[in-house]
Amino acid sequence: MRKVRCTPVPSRTIALPNPTGLHARPAAVFSKAAAGSAAEVTVAKDDRTANAKSLLSLLTLDCHKGDVVTITVEGDEADRVLDELVALVESGLGEPLEGGQAAEGGGGS
């Protein structure tokens, strides 16, 4: 029997601003932040979707600077978790952004 969703699942589409996209260190920062939540978190690019709590899964998306991804969060405190993950991406995932901004890769709690 299929589960029927009664509430909308929050998602947000964002362009990756950091120089290396979701590669190695930035992907590790993102997956660590996603894993800190009980919610189910996915990242989609084009026709592929990855479990955001898995570094290897994220790396398979082959995301580069400027690529557009959709982050979807389902579960407890989904809106808060989504806001935190989007803020983390916007901050550069621990990498300096263009123009010399120093980005922090803390990732929440």
C-alpha count within 13 angstroms, C-beta hemisphere, residue 8: 4
Catalytic residue among 16, 17, 21, 23: 23
CA angle 76, 36, 78 (to 5 degrees): 25
64 noted as active-site residue: no
Amino acid, res. 78:
A
Catalytic residues: 23
